[in-house]
Amino acid sequence: MKKQIIVFVLLFIPFSAFPNKHKTDSLQGVVHSNQHDTSKVKALNELGKTYLYHKVDSALFYFDSAYSWSKKINFKKEEANCLNFLGVVALHKNDLDSAKFFFEKSHAISSQIGFKKRQAATAGNLAIVYERFGNTIMSNEYFRKAIGLYEQIGDSAQLSKNQVDFSRNLATRGSFPEALEILLLATRYFEKHNDDFQLIFAYINLGSLYYNLQDFDLSLKYYLLAIEKDRQVESIDYLALSLNGIGLIYAELKKDTQKAAEYYQQAIEEANEFNYESTLISVTNNLANMYFDKKDFDKALDQYKIAYRLYEKSNFHSSEIPITINLGVCNLYLGNLDSARHYLYDGLEKAESAASAQHIAIAHKNLFELDSTLGNFVSAIEHLKISEAIKDSLWQQENQNKIKELGIRFETEKKEQENTLLKDENQLKARIIQNHRIIGAVISLALVLMIVLGIWLYRSRKKLKDLNARLEAQKLELQQLNVTKDKFFSIVAHDLKSPFNSLLGLLDMLEEDFDSISDEDKMEIITSLRKSSHNTYHLLLNLLDWSRNQRGHIKFEPQKFSVEESIQNVFKLLRNRAKFKSHQLTSVIPDDLVMYTDKIMFESVILNLVNNSIKFTNNGGDILISVQRVNGGLFVSIRDNGVGIPSENIAHLFELDSDFKRMGTSDEMGTGLGLILCNDFVHLMGGVISVESKENQGSVFSFTIPE
């Protein structure tokens, strides 16, 4: 079973851990002033940074507010900063989906306006997010991008920090020489500039890298240097990382399990004290590996289970695959074959999603052992073929340079042999004549063997090619599914959590500054709370309906009902919202019009479309619903004189992966999920939905329903 140290992802943000009261009061003064310029946005961001480490919800409120203001005044540079800060908060909370969403938006804006410093920072942050997801390919790509940008702008300090992270990524992929070269460059920079803070992590990564290179002395040297620096810097304590590394090198390189256990125990105590979840996972996994090597499989299984539970409580995807496979292998050795199959297939699925060839090969190898034990020899052979094919591919990649070197040596030796043969030509001729018959027979036999070998190689390569094609197709399909899943979770994570962040931030402000806030401001905050609560409730309803529909829990159940009565029911629900914005709701419906379709779906479509019109129509607007019979069915239209929709975005309104999202005329939240739900329900009722719109003139949403 392959042992490995589970890599840690460390992010450092140079913010003050405790707020300066004088500075905070000064910033509050700017925020509560009548200024509506760039200084207000910057003050909100600075306030968010002061609260980042002790009141995260307040920090989120200020960053969200800064983001809203930056969009209002079209301050793109600060908008990119706000999004990056929101991503940093999400990353600190280990919310990887939200962090990815914010960093990607910040990176896109920075690239658009040529803000290279923020572009480089978000590229580095995205690399760390993908590393935590276990996607080393995307992580590698973003690290290279960040390093290239820092080289362009001449920021040596940030360049060196990213080189440390990048070297860890390269080591994970097995590129140890390149990783060592880059890491030593960064270490020399930190030593030259006496940056003890960054040296700690450079030394830890050097210890890990020399462990992978099987160099006990150098690995121990750098872990001890990291511990020495750690004790000199009071503001941080990452002793657990170094202690875990020392335990690992004693266990794996010295086979001194007693010494290793002592260091592992110290690492666990340190990690528990500072709640370092990723380190606890790594130490527990390494401890289990040690018990496994000692053939104490029961203790190993207990530790693997603890590591798996710790992973489930956290969000460190990079540790998920090896722990899952380790659980399968340990259960296989204990004879728990059902559990072994469960964990090995689960690990295989996760490894395929992450495109981790090494772990795919390990999973298939152990599934071969499992099926062989159960007598499933056909399945076992398939697993073995896949495992060997992947291992052969990895071997070819890793040993390409060695093969070239052997080829050169072979050619040199061949020339030397030819010179020797020329000198002894007469003797060789005599021997050739003497042994002519034997040589002829050998050549004939060799030809036959070569033909047989050629046929076998041709068939093997054809099978391998077919297998690789199937694996590539499965990989592409999984990548597409993951993209759709990531997009949906990003929408849910951002659009559902943002209003709650606003609610909590506003409530914090009321609680902390109640006496100093004017009655007018209090009423404005209460109005914001009410509006945010309504928007959140409507979003939750749409999320629940969409989720039920995706799982097939919503069935089309037609019934006869009065169209006029259904539309009036919707008006009753939305009348207060329309009144708040002074909208006029009117309807034109034929008398006694009765429809036979699903009443709940019909009312839900009307509710979402009218709610959209209210949201995107300025105060004092008109919203008209008209219904008429056409060709044996109903034609329903909802017309408003609102802000309209840009023509280039109309075609994508009903798509889940559309990037077109915007706020209402009174800053109401807009997610686009309501329109997607409308489209689904209209299709379930057998109809078609369409849109006509012009910017600043209004929109008409229409749909037909057959009887």
Give residue 621's Cα distance to chain centre. 42
Has this prediction a pTM greater than 0.85?
no
What stretches of 527-684 adopt beta strand conformation (E)?
Answer: 559-562, 584-588, 594-597, 622-630, 633-640
- Give the relative orientation of helices 436-513 and 377-398 as an angle to the nearest 10 degrees: 90
pLDDT of residue 113: 92
pLDDT of residue 13: 37
Q: What is the mean pLDDT of each run of 10 residues along the chain (707 residues)?
A: 40 40 53 64 79 73 83 86 88 84 93 92 92 84 93 92 88 82 92 90 91 91 92 76 91 89 87 74 85 88 87 68 89 91 90 77 89 86 84 52 35 45 58 65 74 78 78 72 56 57 70 79 76 62 60 78 91 84 92 89 91 91 92 90 88 73 75 81 91 92 90
CA geometry: angle at 122 spanning 121 and 127, to 5°?
A: 100
Q: Encoding tokens for residue 698? A: 């209004």
Write out the DSSP string of 392-449: HHHHHHHTHHHHHHHHHHHHHHHHHHHHHHHHTHHHHHHHHHHTHHHHHHHHHHHHHH
CA geometry: angle at 143 spanning 141 and 146, to 5°?
A: 110
Write out the DSSP string of 273-308: HHT-HHHHHHHHHHHHHHHHHTT-HHHHHHHHHHHH
Q: pLDDT tens digits, residue range 194-213?
A: 988 889 989 999 998 899 88
701 near 689, Cβ under 8 Å? Answer: yes
343 near 325, Cβ under 8 Å? Answer: yes
Q: pLDDT tens digits, residue range 237-275?
A: 678 889 999 999 998 899 898 898 899 888 888 878 766
124 near 146, Cβ under 8 Å? Answer: yes
pLDDT of residue 23: 52
pLDDT of residue 71: 84
169 near 140, Cβ under 8 Å? Answer: yes
- The DSSP bridge partners found for residue 689 are 703
Alpha helix segments (H runs only) across 73-135 = 76-92, 96-113, 116-133
